[in-house]
Amino acid sequence: DVKVTQSSRYLVKRTGEKVFLECVQDMDHENMFWYRQDPGLGLRLIYFSYDVKMKEKGDIPEGYSVSREKKERFSLILESASTNQTSMYLCASSPHVAGGSNTQYFGPGTRLTVL
């Protein structure tokens, strides 16, 4: 089974803190994704990466950055957390195959609260 793990299930931080959310997958997938999920808004893509050291902006990258130094690990960074970044953060990975978008496998999510 594909396993995607996220470093924390729940996290509470203060405004202005630097926050790191870590995601690790064990299936040698090339693609990794960070989403945030808010009630009524569904999943919104923040950033994705299709290879080590490669990154692409998603729909809502403002206030976030990412790092992918190793194939299995994709980190989401909030440089200076703000209260409007309180949300559920979901990481996903997918294999890179010819033909187009492939099945994404999700981690359990990190519920981040910024006070």
Partner 1 sequence: AQSVTQPDIHITVSEGASLELRCNYSYGATPYLFWYVQSPGQGLQLLLKYFSGDTLVQGIKGFEAEFKRSQSSFNLRKPSVHWSDAAEYFCAAGETGAGSYQLTFGKGTKLSVIP
Contact positions vs partner 1 (CB under 8 A): 4, 31, 33, 40-43, 45, 48, 50, 58, 90, 92, 94, 96, 98-109, 111
Q: Which is nearer to partner 1, 17 or 51 (CB)?
A: 51
Q: Min. distance of Cβ 78 from partner 1 in angstroms?
A: 20
Nearest approach, Cβ of residue 74 and partner 1 (Å): 13
CA distance 77 to 95: 23
Return d(Cα 100, Cα 85) in angstroms, integer: 31
What whole-number distance in Å separates Cα of residue 59 and Cα of residue 36? 10
Q: Cα(87)–Cα(39) distance, rounded to whole angstroms?
A: 9
Q: Which two tokens stand for residue 101?
A: 């978008």
The distance of closest approach from Cβ of residue 34 to partner 1 in the complex, given in angstroms and rounded to an integer, is 12
Pairwise CA distance, residues 114 & 86, whole Å: 5
CB of 96 vs partner 1, minimal distance in Å: 7
